[in-house]
């Protein structure tokens, strides 16, 4: 049986998981592929570090170059994370004509175009299924399964840490800070959690999905990002009373309405270009929608194609085993491509819509939930409504929740579709009213239309 020798760069949680998965199911993979996967070397930072997964000392090294440059290594697997040394690892392997498998979403987000171009020049391939949504095969879905569809909508719950925190806040009535501390204790959140809770990890992933879905590489600087730090227990409660659940969503939309509004907000975008919204933000999701039921650390990606209609992909979005499963999928593709000499059978990325552009968030139209803290006196609603009316923003409903007594009380406004820029400007004016105490809270509402 033909054998593909693997060089793993990174022996941490994911690297150990991949090594363990090959030991566990290597024979199964070989029987399905006709190619045996064998780990030749593993590069790690510290040989003395205790590891949950035992790797024979003879296979370990601290020199990643010796792994990549070894002529006996057929496939390089980059699992070290980061965007500096990891970039060097991938570029060197590709330069040598070796296929590379990576789980590094930050690397792809920052340097994807450069790496794909290097793979094309070398006549080899770069595989990255594990970079987005863990064990959910969403990269294959967009590159292969839905290749005959124009993707008109894509929504993703792609950060398990945020989903876990929001789930527990809703389920237990707990505050953000308390749940975050518990998530850190349980290992669901990092000691420095900003990459997750401020939305940046989700932005890396949703940018990759947007690029694949629309055929031009999305610059991470163009992705609008908001996190969940400012979501309060009060907002969770009021959203529930209105029939919604708050989720951190990655949103990719291509629609005429978005395009027209964005063209006015961003003169650089012309009518001929494919215009898409690429954003990450907390969102009110109707309880009747399937994404409202995606809880704890699970991920889900909801994709609408113009031919297939609505599809949903659900599973564990992170963790040792889920990520290892995705890496094994890529290793299977790489091994088969080597076996049959089809190194570029499925290119890592095809820029088929080079004129595409990400719209400015200022022109994106949404519905909104707004929470205000106001003085409990007559005439307050009239002053707020007057500002919204001048901005041509309609109110669909007003709720003053019962059980909140005192000089200052909460008021909830549900707002009809309005451009983001107009909404922000109106809220800034409302915040200046003498009867409004504290900054207004605005959360977008998604109808999935």
Could you tell me if 199 and 299 lie in one domain? yes
| Average model confidence (pLDDT) across the chain | 92
Answer yes or no: is pLDDT of 232 > 60. Answer: yes
* CB of 62 closer than 8 Å to CB of 28: no
Q: State residue 345's pLDDT score.
A: 75
Could you tell me if 121 and 167 lie in one domain? no
Q: State residue 270's pLDDT score.
A: 44
Q: How far is CA 351 from CA 212, 214, 240, 348, in A?
A: 9, 9, 42, 10
Query: CATH number, domain at 406?
Result: 3.30.70.260
**Among residues 361, 392, 424, which one ends one of the domains?**
361
Could you tell me if 82 and 149 lie in one domain? no
CA-based nearest residue to 444, from 286, 254, 241, 271: 286
Tokens of 133: 């949504």
Residue 186's pLDDT band (boundaries 50, 70, 90)?
confident
Position 245 in a domain: yes
Q: How far is CA 217 from CA 43, 108, 178, 204, 286, in A?
A: 31, 10, 38, 12, 31
The per-residue pLDDT for range 249-306, each reduced to its tens digit, is 999 998 554 444 444 555 444 444 678 999 999 999 999 999 999 999 999 999 999 9
**Rounded mean pLDDT of 334-339?**
93
Could you tell me if 245 and 382 lie in one domain? no
CA–CA–CA angle 292, 296, 300 (5° rounding): 55
On whether the pTM is more than 0.75, the answer is: yes
Could you tell me if 276 and 390 lie in one domain? no
Answer yes or no: is pLDDT of 246 > 60. Answer: yes
Query: CATH number, domain at 19?
Result: 3.40.50.720
Could you tell me if 115 and 177 lie in one domain? no
Could you tell me if 145 and 79 lie in one domain? no
Q: State residue 257's pLDDT score.
A: 42
Position 336 in a domain: no
Could you tell me if 145 and 280 lie in one domain? yes
Residue 315's pLDDT band (boundaries 50, 70, 90)?
very high
Position 333 in a domain: no
Position 134 in a domain: no
Could you tell me if 74 and 110 lie in one domain? yes
Position 343 in a domain: no
Answer yes or no: is pLDDT of 403 > 90. Answer: no
Strand partners, 365: 419
Q: Which residues are catalytic?
A: 205
Rounded to whole angstroms, the Cα distance separating 122 from 114 reads: 12
Could you tell me if 238 and 117 lie in one domain? no
Could you tell me if 276 and 165 lie in one domain? yes
SS3 at position 343: coil
The per-residue pLDDT for range 115-163, each reduced to its tens digit, is 999 999 999 999 999 999 989 999 999 999 999 999 999 999 999 999 9
Supply the range of the domain harboring residue 419.
364-445
CA–CA–CA angle 178, 238, 429 (5° rounding): 100
**Among residues 127, 151, 183, which one ends one of the domains?**
127
Position 373 in a domain: yes
Position 370 in a domain: yes
Position 328 in a domain: no
Could you tell me if 256 and 231 lie in one domain? yes
How many structural domains compose the chain? Answer: 3
């Amino acid at each position: 049986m033909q054998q593909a020798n693997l060089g793993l760069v990174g022996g941490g949680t994911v690297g150990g998981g991949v090594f363990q998965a090959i030991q566990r199911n290597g024979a199964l993979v070989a029987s399905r592929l006709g190619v045996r996967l064998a780990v030749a070397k593993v590069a790690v930072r510290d040989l003395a570090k205790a590891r949950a997964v035992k790797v024979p000392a003879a296979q370990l090294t601290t020199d990643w170059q010796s792994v990549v440059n070894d002529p006996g290594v057929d496939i390089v697997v980059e699992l070290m994370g980061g965007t500096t040394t990891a970039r060097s690892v991938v570029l060197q392997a590709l330069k040598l004509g070796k296929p590379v498998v990576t789980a590094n979403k930050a690397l792809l987000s920052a340097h994807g175009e450069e790496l794909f171009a290097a793979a094309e020049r070398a006549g080899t391939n770069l595989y990255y299924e594990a970079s987005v949504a863990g064990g959910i095969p969403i990269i294959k879905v967009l590159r292969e399964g839905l290749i005959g569809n124009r993707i008109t909508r894509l929504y993703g719950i792609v950060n398990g840490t945020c989903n876990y925190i929001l789930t527990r806040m809703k389920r237990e009535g707990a505050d953000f800070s308390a749940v975050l501390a518990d998530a850190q204790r349980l290992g669901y959140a990092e000691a420095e959690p900003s990459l997750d809770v401020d939305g940046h990890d989700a932005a890396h992933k949703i940018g990759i999905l947007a690029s694949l879905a629309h055929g031009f590489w999305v610059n991470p600087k163009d992705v609008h990002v908001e996190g969940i730090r400012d979501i309060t227990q009060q907002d969770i409660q009021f959203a529930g009373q209105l029939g919604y659940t708050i989720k951190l969503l990655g949103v990719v939309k291509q629609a005429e309405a978005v395009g027209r509004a964005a063209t006015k907000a961003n003169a650089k975008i012309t009518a001929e270009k494919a215009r898409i919204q690429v954003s990450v933000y907390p969102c009110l999701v109707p309880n009747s929608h399937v994404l409202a039921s995606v809880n704890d650390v699970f991920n889900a990606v909801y994709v609408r194609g113009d031919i297939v209609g609505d599809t949903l992909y659900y599973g564990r979005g992170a963790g040792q085993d889920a990520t290892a499963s995705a890496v094994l999928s890529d290793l299977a593709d790489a091994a088969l491509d080597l076996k049959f000499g089809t190194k570029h059978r499925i290119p890592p990325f095809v820029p088929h819509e080079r004129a595409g552009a990400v719209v400015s968030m200022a022109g994106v139209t949404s519905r909104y939930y707004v929470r205000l803290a106001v003085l409990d006196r007559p005439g307050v609603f009239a002053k707020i409504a007057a500002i919204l009316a001048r901005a041509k923003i309609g109110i669909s409903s007003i709720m003053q929740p019962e059980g909140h007594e005192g000089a200052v009380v909460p008021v909830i406004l549900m707002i009809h579709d309005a451009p983001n820029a107009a909404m922000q400007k109106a809220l800034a004016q409302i915040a200046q009213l003498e009867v409004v105490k504290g900054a207004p809270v605005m959360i977008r509402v998604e109808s999935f239309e």
